[in-house]
Amino acid sequence: EEETTWAKERLVMIDPIGRCLSYEIIENNVGFKSYVATFKVMQVDGYDDQVCRIEWSFVSDPVDGWKKEDLESYVDFCLKHMVNKMELHL
């Protein structure tokens, strides 16, 4: 049986004019000791407000026992999950 991963997050900053927000993980069972991420909604040149690009960046301490590929796989999973949630609400 696969263990469910979880993270408790806290909103650090929200900028409605700049269309961005930052959050940090404050508790988790994944192994993150320090993790802060920023989402920014950016307009795509040549399109109206109905088309945008979402930029997600983060800074994290290494997770004990993880290789670079492990972090990449986890981030890929999280991104796909977020995209699926966003598509459900369009």
Residues 6+ apart with CB under 8 A from 86: none
Per-residue pLDDT at 35 exceeds 90? yes
Mean pLDDT of 73-81: 90
Residue 57: inside a domain: yes
Residue 73: inside a domain: yes
Mean pLDDT of 18-39: 96
Per-residue pLDDT at 48 exceeds 80? no
Instruction: For residue 40, name the pLDDT band (cuts at 50, 70, 90).
Output: very high
Instruction: For residue 78, name the pLDDT band (cuts at 50, 70, 90).
Output: confident
Residue 1: inside a domain: no
Closest residue by Cα to residue 6 from 20, 22, 26, 21? 26
- Overall number of domains in the chain: 1
Rounded mean pLDDT of the chain? 91
pLDDT at 2: 74
Residue 19: inside a domain: yes
Instruction: Please give the residue range of the domain that contains residue 29.
Output: 7-88
Residue 2: inside a domain: no
CA 72, CA 75: separation in Å to the nearest integer?
5
pLDDT at 86: 85
